[in-house]
């Protein structure tokens, strides 16, 4: 099956800076794919390479089997939803959505009809006469999405489009984007530094660091079986335990990842002392010390939380302890 997007040893250098460094990547048609990583990790540059806003220094890019190098953005079967939405403030919403069709030379009545349909798709019927300044952040995000979808792209690129929204609206839009992607069946490529967004929305996730993909897989694989210390710590806060500490805890002399929610506080087990705790609503994060080893434990709401300074015991299932391939 032809990939929606395929990178073969793609690099993008800016002088001595290797923003993208020999990346191999294959994204399937109809996949919701997340590029996850901290600022400067290379994920946004990869998105811009797909969009055509950047050209690779070396390597090869294909979009549905067609060579992408040298092809301008307007000739690619992709559209981008930007972080700042990039709406035209002087145009009404309908004309904003229809702008790309106008550039393509689509007749006015047809493009306005298609723009109305796109607004219906993103749950903004009847908003066409308003200006962007009259809309909320969430509504502007929907307009930007409609403007991209009206062109019927094969690949939709989303550059941290939820970053400006408050938490509740961001969570709502996560659900709506995933539902929309499933109904349309087109490839979504979503760039984010928020691991919660990536895990909750994506079919597969690529974790970037220093211009490279350090691990790619399903959200479950990335979360439960991190390959490196970086992945374990970045994708959900994990207890990353050094080999010498693992020996003290009765395990193997290897770097290991142990998620806070996998640890139980109980009588018996590995002796520990409660150092601090933070109430988070659905759970309480408890910091414990087992000798000189400090671990975080998530205690679900409704379960008793020991007082600071209290003695307790630690226990976990052997299957919850994940040994990592390397220490990077």
Based on the fold, state whether residues 186 and 212 are members of the same structural domain.
yes
Residue 317 belongs to domain with CATH number: 2.40.50.140
Write out pLDDT tens, residues 118-141. Answer: 898 888 888 888 998 888 888 888
Same domain, 213 and 267: no
Does 328 fall in a domain?
A: no
Copy the structure tokens of residue 308.
């600071």
321 strand-pairing partners: 258
Per the domain annotation, does 60 fall within a domain? Answer: yes
Let me know whether 220 and 246 are in one domain: no
Place of tokens 């109809």: 30
pLDDT < 50 regions, the chain? none
Per-residue confidence (pLDDT) for residue 97, from 0 to 100: 92
Task: Give the model's pLDDT for residue 14.
Answer: 94
Number of domains forming the structure of the chain:
2
Residues near 196 by beta carbon (within 8 Å), at least 6 away in sequence = none
Residues 183, 262 within the same domain: no
User: Does 98 map to a domain?
Assistant: yes
User: Do 261 and 148 have their domain in common?
Assistant: no
Last-in-domain residue among 179, 199, 231: 231
Model pLDDT, residue 327: 57
The domain boundary residue, chosen from 189, 207, 231:
231
Within a domain: residue 262?
Answer: yes
Same domain for 265 and 191, yes or no, is no
Domain span at residue 274 reads 237-323
**Whether residue 290 sits in one domain with residue 195:** no
Give the integer Cα–Cα distance in Å for 208 and 214: 6
Q: Quick one: which of 179, 170, 167, 116 has its CA closest to 138?
A: 170
Give backbone dihedrals phi and psi of 120, rounded to 5 degrees, phi first: -60, -40
What value does the CA radius of gyration of the chain take, rounded to a whole number of Å?
Answer: 23
- Report the half-sphere exposure of 96 (CA within 13 A, side-chain side): 25
What does the pLDDT read at residue 246?
A: 92
**20 with 125, same domain?**
yes
- Sign for the CA dihedral angle at 242, 244, 245, 246 comes to positive
Check whether residue 278 and residue 170 sit in a common domain. Answer: no
Tell me whether residue 54 is exposed, middle or buried, using C-beta atoms within 10 angstroms of its C-beta: 0 to 12, 13 to 18, 19 or more: middle
> Does residue 312 form part of some domain?
yes
Residue 284 falls within a domain, yes or no? yes
The structure tokens listed for 251 are: 């395990």
Domain assignment present for residue 300? The answer is yes
At residue 93, the pLDDT reads: 93
State residue 31's pLDDT score: 96
Q: DSSP letter string over 122-156?
A: TT-TT-TTS-GGGS-HHHHHHHHHHHHHTT--SEE
DSSP state of 201: H
Q: Would you state the pLDDT for residue 164?
A: 62
Is residue 57 domain-shared with residue 14, that is, in the same domain? yes
Same-domain status, 209 and 287: no
The CATH number linked to 219 is 3.40.50.300
10 neighbors 59 (Cβ within 8 angstroms): yes
pLDDT score, position 328:
62
CB 173 within 8 A of CB 162: yes
Residue finishing a domain among 167, 196, 231: 231
Shared-domain flag, residues 171 and 194: yes
Tens digits of residue pLDDT in 67-93: 999 999 988 999 888 877 778 889 999
Residue 168 is assigned to a structural domain of this protein: yes
d(CA 136, CA 93): 13
């Amino acid at each position: 099956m032809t990939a929606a997007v395929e990178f073969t040893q793609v690099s993008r250098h800016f002088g001595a800076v290797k923003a993208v460094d020999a990346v191999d990547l294959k994204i399937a048609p109809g996949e919701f794919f997340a590029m996850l990583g901290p600022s400067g990790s290379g994920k946004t540059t990869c998105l811009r390479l797909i969009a055509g806003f950047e050209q690779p220094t070396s390597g090869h890019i294909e979009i549905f089997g067609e060579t992408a190098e040298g092809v301008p953005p307007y000739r690619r079967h992709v559209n981008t939803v930007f972080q700042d939405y990039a709406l035209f403030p002087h145009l009404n919403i309908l004309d904003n959505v229809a702008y790309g069709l106008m550039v393509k030379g689509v007749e006015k009545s047809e493009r306005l009809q298609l723009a109305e349909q796109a607004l219906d798709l993103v749950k903004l019927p009847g908003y066409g006469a308003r200006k962007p300044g009259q809309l909320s952040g969430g509504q502007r995000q929907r307009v930007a999405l409609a403007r991209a979808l009206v062109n019927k792209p094969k690949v939709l690129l989303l550059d941290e489009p939820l970053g400006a929204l408050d938490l509740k609206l961001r969570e709502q839009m996560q659900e709506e984007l995933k539902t929309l992607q499933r109904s349309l069946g087109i490839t979504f490529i979503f760039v984010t530094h928020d691991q919660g967004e990536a895990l909750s929305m994506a079919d597969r996730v690529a974790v970037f660091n220093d211009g490279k993909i350090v691990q790619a897989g399903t959200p479950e694989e990335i979360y439960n079986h991190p390959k490196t210390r970086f992945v374990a710590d970045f994708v959900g806060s994990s207890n990353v335990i050094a080999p010498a500490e693992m020996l003290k805890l009765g395990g193997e002399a290897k770097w290991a990842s142990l998620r806070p929610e996998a640890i139980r506080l109980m009588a018996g087990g590995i002796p520990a002392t409660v150092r601090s705790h933070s109430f988070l609503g659905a759970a309480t994060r408890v910091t414990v010390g087992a000798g000189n080893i400090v671990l975080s434990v998530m205690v679900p709401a409704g379960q008793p939380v020991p007082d600071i300074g209290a003695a307790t015991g630690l226990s976990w299932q052997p299957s919850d302890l994940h040994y990592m391939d390397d220490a990077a």
